[in-house]
Amino acid sequence: MLKMRLRIGLAAVCAGLACASGAAWGQQAEQAKPEAPIVLHAARMLDVAAGSVVSPGEVLVVGDRIKAAGKAVEHPAGARVIDLGDVTLMPGMIDAHVHLFLHPGDEDLQTVEESVPWRTLLAEQAAKADLLAGFTAERDMGTEGAGSADTAVRRAIDEGMTLGPRMRMSGNAIDILGGHEDANRFNPAQRVLSNADYANGAAQIVEVMREQHKEGSDFAKVYETGPDRMVDGVLRTPYQYTVAELKAAVEEARRLGTVVAVHAMGEPGTLFAAEAGVASIDHATQLSDETMRVMKEKGIFAVPTFAIFEYFARHAEGAAQAEREGALLKYKIAEFKKQVAAGVEFAVGSDVGPFPHGTQAVEMELMVRYGMTPAAVLQADLLHGAKLLGWEGQIGQLQPGFYADVVAVDGNPLDDITAVERVKFVMKGGKTAKE
């Protein structure tokens, strides 16, 4: 009798599962139906590579990709036409230097007082704010003590659980004991943790990179300089790793199929990073003639991050800090002009996090203000950014076969770069995030 009851019960369960499975399959089949094509129409469209605008502009989106783009495209039967009016269509913007796990306020205290789960929730909200501001791809340059929690945010975005850009994640940055992001100003007896992963020497760098890769990192972020001081009007910043140590990191990254990006403010660390063959030198405030020569030879991008320097200069606490931050910014501007004249190739990264997420398009405005043309800045953001993030040929242009990452901005960014700060429409992968 017991066996019979078990058989009847199992049969009922199996029948129920079959029904549930059939219903689920039906739902999946329903969801799998291809969405209708979308035609985006606007007064203008940016041709990034040419540095020009065509008028009018249309983009045909099928699934998650662009099928056609130009003054006029096919309007397939059943296509949804979105007329965006007097705006400029352009590729979704790219921020090559963000910190999803930071927000305005004391960075050191955030990492001490706020739990990693809480910071992860804030990071999810930061990603959403960045996407709605028109940034459809980003590179997160260190979780500042949150380890590999960034991979959870990336996964949630990729699986459609939350809104956010396409993300390249580094996990924690890599730093020496007592280095740039160590808890140097706290009581040593309290054993406050570093905001980065320790690596003292080449062997430890490789070990840390392997651990981070196991946990899901896309690339390695290394602190190469710090702390920074202005001495007689000139930046002074000690290096943290030798050329040999950085080369070990670059070689390990190559083995893993990825790259190394460095925080490097000035010489000789910037030269060491260039000689080692890193992918980007972020901040890049001081670059010698030799460093710039090597960077151009090896195709290394400088990522100026003006927005964070401007923010700190405008939000200084007290006269002394205001003078210090102001002097550093003035020096950085002068050096940037030399870099532009020397033909250094730039990517656009804002260092957003210490200032509010979703406001980082100001970085492009600042790069124009300090010496670049709007077209050159847009190419640095979209063409160089796509290459730096490893998505060249997939994002950064409105071209057939590229991901349908499209934004519409109020105005013509070639005439007025601040147009990128007035985003009216956002599409990522063929799905509208803001309309």
Nearest to 254 by CA among 305, 222, 219, 304: 219
The confidence score (pLDDT) of residue 54 equals 97
Question: So what's the pLDDT on residue 192?
Answer: 79
For CATH 2.30.40.10, the residue range(s) in the chain are 34-92+393-435
Evaluate whether 293 touches 345 at the Cβ level (below 8 Å).
Answer: no
C-alpha pair distances (Å), 373 with each of 181, 281, 387, 415, 422: 34, 21, 20, 10, 19
Cα–Cα distances (Å) from 190 to 110, 184, 187, 193, 196, in that order, read: 16, 11, 6, 9, 17
Kindly give, in sequence order, each residue whose CB lies less than 8 Å from that of residue 211, ignoring residues fewer than 6 positions away.
Answer: 197
Residues of the chain with confidence (pLDDT) below 50: 1-30
Residue 108's pLDDT is 79
* Rounded Cα–Cα distance for residues 205 and 176 (Å): 9
Question: How far, in Å, CA of 61 to CA of 235, rounded?
Answer: 49
> What is the model's pLDDT at position 146?
94
The architecture in CATH of the region 34-92+393-435 reads Roll (2.30)
What is the structure's pLDDT at 198?
95
Q: What is the pLDDT of residue 139?
A: 98
What are the backbone angles phi and psi of residue 86, rounded to the nearest 5°? -80, 70
The residue behind tokens 């959870």 is 152
HSE-CB for 414 with a 13 A CA cutoff: 16
Q: What token pair was written down for 330? A: 């003035």
Residues of each domain in the chain carrying CATH 3.20.20.140: 93-360
pLDDT at 2: 39
> Cβ distance 222 to 212 under 8 Å?
no
- What is 93-360's CATH number, 3.40.50.920, 1.10.260.30, 3.20.20.140, 3.40.50.2000? 3.20.20.140
Summary mean pLDDT of the chain? 92
